[in-house]
Homo-oligomer: A and B are copies of this chain.
């Protein structure tokens, strides 16, 4: 196990051990631009390390979400889906376009300038009015993709 990966520091800092399954799972997530389910990840990891179990995948994903290394999404297809968080690997903050017919998901970062500005204003306003400490947001547009419309 190499201890020089970009995420080792964050991992150790939270008191977690570095293990083969955890590294393998992070590798899979680093190398895709898709939104993988736990089973997708299990299958991908399984090719290289056939002994790693689905249970460990679920457990690792929980940890990765809790320390903010990945995001967990619900695109309403009956399973959770995961994606590397932004800072992590040259990833940009983005929102999602979801096709309600075929399930296709498009990441978009366009128009984000106006959006970011309004989001920050809204967060500030909500924060004050409802006395919430806002830590994140979820923004998804639903519709029909070019193939399904």
Binding site for B on A (CB under 8 A): 74, 76, 97, 99-100, 106, 108, 110-111, 114-115, 118, 121-123, 125-127, 129-146, 149
Q: Point out the residue from B127, B130, B131, B143 that lies within 8 Å of A132, measured CB to CB.
A: B143
The answer to whether B137 touches A140, judged by C-beta atoms less than 8 angstroms apart, is yes
Looking at A76, A136, A138, A149, the one whose CB has the most chain B CB atoms below 10 A away is A138
Q: What would 10 A/B residue contacts be, using CB atoms closer than 8 Å?
A: A99-B132, A100-B135, A110-B129, A111-B125, A111-B126, A131-B146, A132-B145, A135-B144, A136-B143, A137-B141
The answer to whether B115 touches A130, judged by C-beta atoms less than 8 angstroms apart, is no
Q: Point out the residue from B97, B118, B138, B149 that lies within 8 Å of A115, measured CB to CB.
A: B118
Q: Which residues of B contact A108 (CB under 8 A)?
A: 126, 129-130
